[in-house]
Structure 1
């Protein structure tokens, strides 16, 4: 079985490379550079959950990014090669998506043709006609989804999913709050553009925390 890495791990590694490049081009002190390199190696091993197979896969790659003469072009080339080992988001069928959002009438499906599935931890798409946003994801290998209203007002703020400063909008879902049949709205500011959010997502915990808050109770 081929060793693969997850999308968020790939983007975490990409972020580490960008930080290394910045240090290589702006710091002259060799000790400082060596410290940053050691930290980057440690963090990369941690993000792949210290999986021995993933660490072996990444070993030659990590060696190359430790070259202080590394240039942006070479780093981009290395990342392209690493991307070949990223496990893509498993595309569900149209019927599976309809089943997840079974209470939604005239559901607008994502345009799978334009999505790079290796760049998606989750699939998020907007339906401007109904001011709705849909999020589709896997949890313990089970396909799940949440949807809610998305405010048309876009502001600069921190996204509750990727924790980066971005163009965000308020996402609200209506959830059942008790056995008495009362409902409450729950949500937070998230990236308006889910493709960009996926590229900024380097940890899974915040994503699952958000989906847990906005899940519609049965």
Structure 2
């Protein structure tokens, strides 16, 4: 009989997983299940499982014993059904993105008088979001807002859609992108390619540090 991969991990648990960490876990789950399905060498399978655990330990810090046991269950996955069950188990433990209020958004961009607050489309799960982004046609500006260590921060700039795929500097995946450009100083403009579709971008993010680095670099 198949062992219960969630044995010992039940009980009330508060959210402790960021969106980018959740997407990282899903990436590792797919890799483990694909390896298990395609590779007959059990030593190779165990190696892949071990590497996934090592990567997980680099991503998560300060976990409780219960949280560790839950995440270690990823090495027990055998097939797609196991993977889907595991994903369903950890989804409620992902922190949802806290949508900023109108006053908070306006305070980030005091030089603009008519900043609109972002509105999420139907079917968007806030647990998928590391940041929110929207384009204001009235101002002809694209906005990017996120939290860094619990503090709301953001940037705005022009956005020119390229009409082709390239690597997004935020999610590090090849998607349809555009050039985001902002005024770093009164005399210097800086920019880079970011996803046209911010929801797709968010779902690709497995490490929020790329977003933070982009925001830091473009403001220098």
What TM bracket, shorter-length normalisation? 0.7 to 0.9
Matched, 1:57 2:67: yes
Instruction: Report 1:64-79 matches (<5 A).
Output: 65-67=74-76, 69-71=78-80, 73-79=81-87
Match of 1:6 among 11, 14, 18: 18
Matched, 1:134 2:143: yes
- TM superposition shift of 1:126: 2.3
- TM superposition shift of 1:13: 0.4
* C-alpha contact (below 8 Å) 1:131/1:152 kept by paired residues: no
Corresponding residue of 2:6: none
Matched, 1:171 2:183: no
Match of 1:197 among 196, 201, 212: 201
Structure 1 stretch 9-18 or stretch 75-84: which is displaced more? 75-84
Corresponding residue of 2:32: 20
Instruction: Extract unaligned runs of 5+ from structure 1.
Output: 177-181
Corresponding residue of 2:93: 85
- TM superposition shift of 1:74: 3.2
Instruction: Give the match's secondary structure for 2:146.
Output: strand
What TM-score do the two structures reach when normalised by structure 2? 0.85
- TM superposition shift of 1:102: 2.3
Match of 2:128 among 119, 133, 136: 119
Corresponding residue of 1:188: 192
Rate the CA distance shift 1:113–1:168 in 2: closer, same or farther, 3 A: closer
Report how many aligned residue pairs link the two structures: 207
- TM superposition shift of 1:128: 4.6
1:112 & 1:169 partners in 2: Cα distance? 20
Matched, 1:38 2:38: no
Matched, 1:206 2:210: yes
- TM superposition shift of 1:197: 1.1
1:150 & 1:186 partners in 2: Cα distance? 12
Rate the CA distance shift 1:132–1:76 in 2: closer, same or farther, 3 A: farther
- TM superposition shift of 1:61: 4.5
CA RMSD of aligned residues (A): 2.1
- TM superposition shift of 1:62: 2.9
Match of 1:107 among 95, 104, 115: 115
2:85 & 2:38 partners in 1: Cα distance? 22
1:138 & 1:48 partners in 2: Cα distance? 18
Instruction: Give the match's secondary structure for 1:151.
Output: strand
Corresponding residue of 2:9: none
Structure 1 stretch 140-149 or stretch 120-129: which is displaced more? 120-129
- TM superposition shift of 1:109: 2.1
What TM-score do the two structures reach when normalised by structure 1? 0.86
Corresponding residue of 2:168: 159
Instruction: Give the match's secondary structure for 2:98.
Output: coil
